[in-house]
Amino acid sequence: MELVEIGGDRDWQAALTKAKPNLVVVTTVTSALELLDDTVTSAVVKATHAVGAIAFVDDAYGARLRPVLHGGKPGLALGADLAITNCDKAGLAGPRAGVLAGRPNLVTAASAKGAEFGMEARAPIAAGAMRSLQAFRPEDLREEARSGQALAVALAEKLGRDLVVVSDLGPMVDEQDVLAVVLRRAGRSAEGLGLVPCEVSSALGMVLLRDAGILTVNTHGQPGARVSLRLKPTLDAIGRVGGQDAVVAAVDTALDHLASRIDDVSAISQLVLGDQT
């Protein structure tokens, strides 16, 4: 079927009227933690219902981040027919599983289709998801946000405030900027470089994992995940790797390590992919 994708700051009303969809998915918070205002979400939901379509709120981060950190409303309170979140982001400890809520007939239909694809949550996963939700404390998320933002400020002091984005949950450095920092430290331009930004940011993730035990999307994300450096520490994670200064030092040392090897494509390849022989 046709997919029409449009930003919340664009003329989504015209796109909605023209497309005449059966389903409208509203992503409230992106993986880069860009936030869609509740008034926009609510307006899209109302317009969706007006054309007879199902409103599905993708609330992976937003289910907790919006109400707890920004005073927003839950997805279903915004009028959504279905809302989904997951159990390993923004104050929840896992497992890696989705939680779907909404109109009973639609939840039942989605559950049946998931079972057809072998994607249903078996009993241990369902129990783990329930325990994760039961253990959720808004203050834990607020503490994660405070520690992540403090880490972002410290990393910005080290790398430059123009490079580090301070998000709700921690620092983010675009892959283009990661490459620029490495090239600057290597004292060379991008001319003749045998690497692209995502390879350098992936290598950075591998060094952080190998030398400091820091997990990032760069090493553990699924295909299609963002390739920028994003640090979103869970509760007590910073302390487990030695504190905020240790994390900043690990990133700084990893960048120096890559700078010293930036012209050795085979070394970077082995770092990212392992021994392929």
131 and 143 belong to one structural domain = no
Q: What percent of the chain has pLDDT over 70?
A: 99
- Please check the confidence at residue 19 and state whether its pLDDT lies above 80: yes
Where is pLDDT greater, at 177 or 61?
177
**Could you tell me if residue 100 is inside a domain?**
yes
- Please check the confidence at residue 221 and state whether its pLDDT lies above 90: no
- Residue ending a domain, among 106, 135, 164, is 135
**Could you tell me if residue 2 is inside a domain?**
no
Supply 100's token pair.
């779907």
pLDDT digits (tens, 9 = 90+) for 23-52: 999 999 987 788 899 999 999 999 999 999
103 and 202 belong to one structural domain = no
Dist CA 3 CA 12 (whole Å):
13
Question: In terms of residues, how long is the chain?
Answer: 277
267 and 209 belong to one structural domain = yes
Helices (H) and strands (E) in the chain, counts: 12, 7
Q: Which residues contact 128 (CB under 8 A, 6 or more apart)?
A: 87, 94, 95, 97
144 and 42 belong to one structural domain = no
Q: If you average pLDDT over every residue of the chain, what do you get?
A: 92
- Please check the confidence at residue 188 and state whether its pLDDT lies above 90: yes
Mean pLDDT, range 106-118, rounded to an integer: 93
Q: What percent of the chain has pLDDT over 90?
A: 70
**Could you tell me if residue 6 is inside a domain?**
no
- Please answer whether residues 167 and 90 qualify as being in contact, where contact means their C-beta atoms are separated by less than 8 angstroms: no
117 and 206 belong to one structural domain = no
- Please check the confidence at residue 91 and state whether its pLDDT lies above 80: yes
Q: At what angle do helices 265-273 and 197-212 cross, to 10 degrees?
A: 60
* Main-chain dihedrals φ then ψ at residue 215, nearest 5 degrees: -90, 135
- Please check the confidence at residue 209 and state whether its pLDDT lies above 80: yes
Nearest to 100 by CA among 76, 123, 65, 135: 76
Mean pLDDT, range 193-222, rounded to an integer: 92
Query: Cα dihedral sign for 8, 9, 13, 19?
Result: negative
109 and 146 belong to one structural domain = no
- Please check the confidence at residue 237 and state whether its pLDDT lies above 90: no
54 and 149 belong to one structural domain = no
Mean pLDDT, range 6-28, rounded to an integer: 90
Mean pLDDT, range 215-235, rounded to an integer: 85
Q: What is the CATH number of the domain that holds 85?
A: 3.40.640.10
Q: pLDDT value at position 61?
A: 87
pLDDT digits (tens, 9 = 90+) for 122-150: 899 999 999 999 999 999 999 999 999 99
144 and 268 belong to one structural domain = yes
Domain span at residue 94? 12-135
pLDDT digits (tens, 9 = 90+) for 257-275: 999 999 999 999 999 988 7
Dist CA 21 CA 15 (whole Å):
10
Exposed, middle or buried, 144 (CB in 10 Å: 0-12/13-18/19+)? buried
Using CA atoms, how far residue 239 sits from 131, 150, 191, 201, 245, in Å, is 24, 13, 40, 24, 10
**Could you tell me if residue 3 is inside a domain?**
no
59 and 181 belong to one structural domain = no
- Please check the confidence at residue 8 and state whether its pLDDT lies above 90: no
pLDDT band at residue 277, thresholds of 50, 70 and 90? low
- Residue ending a domain, among 135, 161, 190, is 135
Q: pLDDT value at position 53?
A: 95
- Please check the confidence at residue 231 and state whether its pLDDT lies above 70: yes
- Could you list the beta-strand ranges (E) of 121-228: 164-166, 171-173
**Could you tell me if residue 259 is inside a domain?**
yes
Q: pLDDT value at position 102?
A: 97
21 and 127 belong to one structural domain = yes
152 and 201 belong to one structural domain = yes
Mean pLDDT, range 69-79, rounded to an integer: 94
Q: pLDDT value at position 274?
A: 86
**Could you tell me if residue 269 is inside a domain?**
yes
Q: pLDDT value at position 225?
A: 81
Coil, helix or strand at residue 85: strand
pLDDT band at residue 236, thresholds of 50, 70 and 90? confident
Dist CA 91 CA 183 (whole Å):
36
Using CA atoms, how far residue 36 sits from 15, 26, 62, 163, 220, in Å, is 18, 9, 9, 23, 27
- Residue ending a domain, among 114, 135, 156, is 135
Q: What is the CATH number of the domain that holds 252?
A: 3.90.1150
**Could you tell me if residue 5 is inside a domain?**
no
Supply 123's token pair.
């009993």
71 and 192 belong to one structural domain = no
Mean pLDDT, range 10-26, rounded to an integer: 91
**Could you tell me if residue 155 is inside a domain?**
yes
Dist CA 84 CA 60 (whole Å):
6
- Please answer whether residues 143 and 233 qualify as being in contact, where contact means their C-beta atoms are separated by less than 8 angstroms: no
- Give the number of domains in the chain: 2
Nearest to 33 by CA among 224, 204, 177, 166: 166
pLDDT digits (tens, 9 = 90+) for 143-186: 999 999 999 999 999 999 999 999 998 999 999 999 999 999 99
